[in-house]
Amino acid sequence: EELRVRTGPSIELHQTAPGEISVPKEIKGDMNGQGLHVAIVVARFNEIITRKLLDSAVETLVRHGVRDEDISVSWVPGAFELPVIAKTLAKTGRYQAVICLGAVIRGETSHYDMVAGQAASGISSVALETGVPTIFGVLTTENMEQALNLAGGTAGNMGANTAVAAIETARLIEAANTA
């Protein structure tokens, strides 16, 4: 008789014979950045914010083993231009991940919704079209105070989060391709 045990919302263990338990194969990405090549595309608009995001992303990548010389940084005028450069870099085949950093602040621009929406849609499209993890690190806030809080203030630094997501997703793709 088979014994079934639920360990969480999606993992179920099966005991097919006494002492034998089969477990679904789980594919995971680790946090080892050694050997990864990462491109970072940064919007110059709101540079007081995006520079902090960049510094944190680079620091986090290096802390996880990515070498400085394996990180490339490209500056674009604003968040709207992030996807085209991200796609260009992803298509070279030289990078296992691309991080896009920007800050769209509602109070700073009258076309906030259009810029934020197009940046998000474009960045997502790059990942789906190229297969290269393209990480969305564009802050979309109501005001400068919120942006500062997300760029190293009271809410941490989104730049670090994007670096962690880039490493883990790149490694997960590697694991999936070799599973």
Find the helix or strand (DSSP H, E) in which 152 lies.
strand 151-153
SS3 38: strand
111 as an active site residue: the answer is yes
Residue whose tokens read 């880039």: 166
The pairing of beta strand 134-141 with beta strand 97-105: parallel
Return phi, psi of residue 142, to 5°: -80, -30
Report the distance separating Cα 43 and Cα 55, nearest Å.
Answer: 13
Nearest to 78, CA basis, from 98, 102, 54, 105: 102
**In angstroms, what CA-CA distances link 153 with 48, 53, 77, 147?**
13, 11, 24, 9
Find the helix or strand (DSSP H, E) in which 90 lies.
helix 82-91
- Indicate which residue of 14, 37, 64, 111 is catalytic: 111
Active site residues: 111
